[in-house]
Amino acid sequence: MDQDRIMIDVRGLEKNFGHVKAVDRISFQVRAGQVVGFIGANGAGKTTTMRILATLSSADAGEVKIAGLDVMEYPAEVRRKLGWMPDQFGVYDYVSVFEYLDFYARAYGFKAQERRRRVEEVMVFTDLATFGDRPMRGLSKGQAQKLCFGRTLLHDPEILILDEPAAGLDPRARIEFKNLVRILAQRGKTILISSHILSELGEMCDAMLFIDGGRLVYQGTASELMRQSGTEAGGLVEVVVAGEREKLLQWFECRPGWKLIRATREGALAAFESDQPEALAAQLRMMVGEGLPLVEFKRIERRLEDAFVDMLKNGGQA
């Protein structure tokens, strides 16, 4: 696999629905073998972008190439190269797991033995091998989602575009799903995967794209995002005070080594340059010594979500 090969190339993409700028001049590239998270709130423009990539909708402006092929000029070739998992898919109550996959394999044009082999492979891969005769209405949400995921793999595409594939899954099903993505990544697939939950994607993606109001506001890795918000190496602390929090905010503003992340309802979230317990204990003693009316001083694990909120507050980066 040529890891420098650009498999998804999006330049100046725009899509409007009336006055709504659903996608507003987005540009990004995904290289061969990368797993990239596409993250944004409801209505941010993820599905609209992904549908254009999957040749299901046309752009108003801009250019999209999949494996070097323009999606508008070569839609049939592009579809052969990519697997698309929509965020909503039909569940046919009385169609069995096998029949469902067999139907799609027929649609891809696979014949007899080859079709059977592919369907069986996908059932094994998605852990649905023992569910072949089970009607879809008897599947749990996680199983139905895996089935739809399996459907996108039937033609062994090089590129996968997955729209909210983990939405609504319980923690166990989410872990199983992550494992499948990991295996596919190891096999060299290029994967673009959307979610509105950042932590859902953080650990499985090589890079992340954040979309907000149709615009790309950040692209980079999870650790770059943490670093950019300035607290990756340090300790994050949530402090609650009795009464007025102004004195506490000032304290964080002027003390060396501290960075105020944000004021909270009863105090503040701040980062100290070190996360060593002794260093934090010394700071705590100093705060108490200087008369700050502390009610709580709690070291917390920094979450990607916090870093993202900080980055948005700082005006984005992309």
Question: Which parts of this chain interact with ligand ATP (CB under 6 A)?
Answer: 17, 20, 22, 40, 42-48, 87, 196
Please say which residue, 47 or 152, places its beta carbon nearer to ligand ATP: 47
Residue 15 Cβ vs ligand ATP, minimum distance, rounded to whole Å: 8
Please say which residue, 21 or 81, places its beta carbon nearer to ligand ATP: 21
Q: What distance in Å separates the CA atoms of residue 233 and residue 279, rounded to the nearest whole number? A: 13
Please say which residue, 6 or 197, places its beta carbon nearer to ligand ATP: 197
User: Which has the closest alpha carbon to 261: 207, 295, 303, 211?
Assistant: 303
**Is the CB of residue 98 less than 8 Å from the CB of residue 114?**
no
Please say which residue, 17 or 92, places its beta carbon nearer to ligand ATP: 17
User: Letter for the amino acid at 141?
Assistant: K
Q: What distance in Å separates the CA atoms of residue 218 and residue 225, rounded to the nearest whole number? A: 9
Q: What distance in Å separates the CA atoms of residue 132 and residue 117, rounded to the nearest whole number? A: 13
Q: What distance in Å separates the CA atoms of residue 154 and residue 102, rounded to the nearest whole number? A: 9
Instruction: Give the Cα-Cα-Cα angle 83, 84, 86 (nearest 5 degrees).
Output: 155
Residue 196 Cβ vs ligand ATP, minimum distance, rounded to whole Å: 5
Residue 99 Cβ vs ligand ATP, minimum distance, rounded to whole Å: 29
Please say which residue, 86 or 157, places its beta carbon nearer to ligand ATP: 86
Residue 14 Cβ vs ligand ATP, minimum distance, rounded to whole Å: 12
Instruction: Give the Cα-Cα-Cα angle 295, 301, 306 (nearest 5 degrees).
Output: 95
Q: What distance in Å separates the CA atoms of residue 301 and residue 272, rounded to the nearest whole number? A: 13
Residue 214 Cβ vs ligand ATP, minimum distance, rounded to whole Å: 7
